[in-house]
Structure 1
Amino acid sequence: MTDIATLDAIPAPVAGRSFWQDAWRRLRNNRAAVAGLIYLAIVSVACIAGPYFVPHNYTDIYADYVRTPPSFSAYPKADKIEGALKEVTQRMRVEVKDWRQETNRVFFTVTSGNAIDERSSRYIDRSDAFDDAKMESRSDDGKEMQFSAAVKQQYFLFGTDNTGRDLLSRTLVAGRVSLAIGLLAGVVAVVIGVIYGSAAGFFGGKTDEIMMRIVDILYSLPFIFFVIMLVVFFGRNFVLMFLAVGAVMWLDMARIVRGQALSIRRQEYVQAAEALGVSSFGILFRHVVPNLLGPVVIYMTLLVPQVIILESFLSFLGLGVQEPMTSWGVLISVGANNLGTANWLLLFPAFFLVSTLFALNFVGDGLRDALDPKDR
């Protein structure tokens, strides 16, 4: 009976946590990293789904609303309706005699030295401020005519750019491009750099010498020349081009990982694994690579903004994203040239870019702490 009672008193074994379970638990406890993840998720969803809910397409041009300031109320404003009427009547080659507004419709009388053609009402419908034009009455000689038109309500929450395109829709579409470019190039650079650098540092010797001399040769190639060659082979498909750009930007990653792998290969747990007969590739992917994830994640968070800036530089040279497609880098470049007269062209895309970079840095710091086995 005593033996049975003793067995009953033995506590049940505690279930252990894997490396990834422990890392996820520690990441959740990091408030800044969680906030960064939430913000990145919100921005990603907004950039992917937002353009479908914005009333304006990113390519639509509103000639009557060039460089329109951002506003929560609808355009045209009450004090701008008369000016919009004058612009329309100038195209009709008539003069406004009088006008009045009743709810959402405008009634105006026009005169001319010659008979007015009823088909001139098409100029009203082509306007960005009015729609549903109708002829209400006309004089016997046809030189005076009354029209009515509905005031077209337009909302530009972020304002418009130099050609009259909605900045909100363009900022969201630009976010798609910038985030996709950063993610594609970053993932490609990390995967190639980690595998290549960890293998060179772990195996060492002549293998390390040969692999790093290849990296030095690739460093010596002119980057712009390589990008031009990519454009020749892949055309203007920016996805394929930046996949290839990411395949070049792994060089720094390979050097960083190689230095860390040289240090890790001398650790006691690696020597113990070798003594137990674990294969070289098993040690590499089981012990070396997991201990490299901290520096790798930090470098990737720095690589994403570097790729975004690189994209804006290539677009300026005519080798990257071109109109009507856009990106945050392109919008910031345009906004910087109009800072004195239309500062909102720089403010909104810069806010999205800077806040996204801050979120990436917070997430990178959190992942570094969570994936560092020494802090477990």
Structure 2
Amino acid sequence: MTDISLETDVLENGQGRSLWQDAWSRLKRNKAAIVSMLVLAAMALIGIFGPMFSPHPYDRIYPQYVRAPASFEAYPRADNILPAFESALARARVDIGEVTVEGSQARAAISDDEPIDERITRYVDRSDLFSNARIENLSADGMTGEMVADVQRLRFLFGTDANGRDVLTRTMIGIRISLAIGLLASMMALLLGVTYGAVSGYLGGRVDNVMMRFVDILYSLPFIFFVILLVVFFGRSFVLIFIAIGCTEWLDMARIVRGQTLTIKRQEYVEAAQAMGVTSWGILRRHVIPNTLGPVIVFVTLLVPKAILLESLLSFLGLGVQPPLTSLGLLISDGAANMRGASWLLIYPAITLTIILFALNFLGDGLRDALDPKDR
């Protein structure tokens, strides 16, 4: 007989190996699954710690850099600094010499027929590009010198959005929110669906019939209507999103586990456990549920991206994540609205979500193979 819940598997050295040790050993041989696991771990670390090291807060607005294209070059560009500096100095009514930009400083030689009034620095400070304007190298007669101002050079590797916020930082925040919602909703659906489906399938008869009819009733309730009710009674919150998704997505899980349980409970090892007086809960815990892990794990890896997409739908309707907080789904929705004029708003969040989805699918296939009792 085949039993994925056997406690030991005889090795060449005579030592025992548990189910999880055996599954991990076979999972390590699947390179695609291991790479996917590392990618997901890297994404999780980026989502958690990335915003902490970003120079731009995710909700910081830069009015002068609205929909700035993605670039490795710092903003403002040198060809934009020079005209702006010359324009500010022109209002000071002084003669302007050579204007240069060195790193984060702009310099210009200035002169006048009378001693230069240091108050002219205010004309430069009024500009959004410059700060800390000052006069250096002033001559003894005070009629020549250099106007120096600091320039805040900013880098937007992923560009900025329609409000002037850094897309890279918001993408990292989106990874954090989307993965958190996907994992929490999936874990909630896993606990409810596996427990409910295993109990229903194992007990069978009228109990199974009543429990499945209850599932059918819940299937008939519109998902959006259910979420709207939750929002009306409890208000919009991060916790509400994964509760709403988890409370609806466990229905598919329950059906899958019930079907597996109906097959497993007829196996010889389950009948042997019943003959030995093992309790129903013991049989469910040691024999039934472990043998359903293969399809369950695969379904969970598909449920995480589904939960992420459902969250994006809720956010689009105004029932999910609210700005300035964001998620990958919300970023993609905003990017689609600005796709023609600012394609980078769609490209980078979409690529990030695609990588996560591919990694989840490859990891799910690897876990399915590792936990399949027929491959033991």
What is the TM-score with the length of structure 1 in the denominator?
0.86
Once the two structures are TM-superposed, the CA of residue 163 in structure 1 deviates from its matched residue by 1.4
> RMSD value over aligned CA atoms?
2.6
8 Å CA contact 2:189, 2:246 repeated in 1:
yes
What does 1:244-283 correspond to in 2, within 5 Å?
Answer: 244-283=244-283
Aligned to 1:42: 42
Which whole-Å deviations, capped at 9, do the CAs of 1:161-198 have from their partners, x for residues lacking one?
A: 11111111010011110000000101000110000001
Which whole-Å deviations, capped at 9, do the CAs of 1:295-322 have from their partners, x for residues lacking one?
A: 1111111111111111111111110011
Once the two structures are TM-superposed, the CA of residue 334 in structure 1 deviates from its matched residue by 1.1
Aligned to 1:161: 161
What does 1:149-298 correspond to in 2, within 5 Å?
Answer: 149-298=149-298
Identity between Structure 1 and Structure 2 (%): 56
Aligned to 1:103: 102
Distance 1:85 1:35 in 2: 51
Q: How many residues align?
A: 352
Question: For residues 79 and 256 of structure 1, do their structure 2 counterparts lie closer, same or farther at Cα, with a shift above 3 Å needed?
Answer: same
SS at match of 2:126: helix
Which whole-Å deviations, capped at 9, do the CAs of 1:16-70 have from their partners, x for residues lacking one?
A: 1011111111111111110000000111101100111111111111112111121
Question: Is the deviation greater in 331-340 or in 188-197?
Answer: 331-340
Which whole-Å deviations, capped at 9, do the CAs of 1:183-238 have from their partners, x for residues lacking one?
A: 01010001100000011011100110111111111111221121012112332211
Distance 1:80 1:102 in 2: 11
Once the two structures are TM-superposed, the CA of residue 146 in structure 1 deviates from its matched residue by 7.6
Aligned to 1:141: none
Once the two structures are TM-superposed, the CA of residue 13 in structure 1 deviates from its matched residue by 6.9
Which whole-Å deviations, capped at 9, do the CAs of 1:263-315 have from their partners, x for residues lacking one?
A: 11111211121122211111111111011011111111111111111111111
SS at match of 1:72: coil
Once the two structures are TM-superposed, the CA of residue 133 in structure 1 deviates from its matched residue by 2.0
Amino acid across the alignment from 1:100: V
What is the TM-score with the length of structure 2 in the denominator?
0.86
Distance 2:327 2:50 in 1: 15
Aligned to 2:126: 123
Aligned to 1:375: 375
Distance 1:174 1:363 in 2: 21
8 Å CA contact 1:230, 1:241 repeated in 2:
no
Distance 2:167 2:91 in 1: 33
Amino acid across the alignment from 2:237: N
Question: For residues 221 and 95 of structure 1, do their structure 2 counterparts lie closer, same or farther at Cα, with a shift above 3 Å needed?
Answer: farther
Amino acid across the alignment from 2:240: L
8 Å CA contact 2:181, 2:241 repeated in 1:
no
Question: Is the deviation greater in 197-206 or in 238-247?
Answer: 238-247
Aligned to 1:346: 346
Distance 2:306 2:229 in 1: 21
SS at match of 1:133: strand
SS at match of 1:55: coil
Question: Is the deviation greater in 71-80 or in 245-254?
Answer: 71-80
Once the two structures are TM-superposed, the CA of residue 84 in structure 1 deviates from its matched residue by 4.0
What does 1:13-24 correspond to in 2, within 5 Å?
Answer: 14-24=14-24
List gaps (5 residues or longer) in structure 1: 1-11, 139-144
SS at match of 1:249: helix
Is 1:366 aligned with 2:369? no
Question: For residues 274 and 165 of structure 1, do their structure 2 counterparts lie closer, same or farther at Cα, with a shift above 3 Å needed?
Answer: same
8 Å CA contact 2:125, 2:132 repeated in 1:
no
8 Å CA contact 2:85, 2:124 repeated in 1:
no
Once the two structures are TM-superposed, the CA of residue 122 in structure 1 deviates from its matched residue by 3.9
Aligned to 2:315: 315
Which whole-Å deviations, capped at 9, do the CAs of 1:328-348 have from their partners, x for residues lacking one?
A: 011111111222221111111
Question: For residues 348 and 226 of structure 1, do their structure 2 counterparts lie closer, same or farther at Cα, with a shift above 3 Å needed?
Answer: same
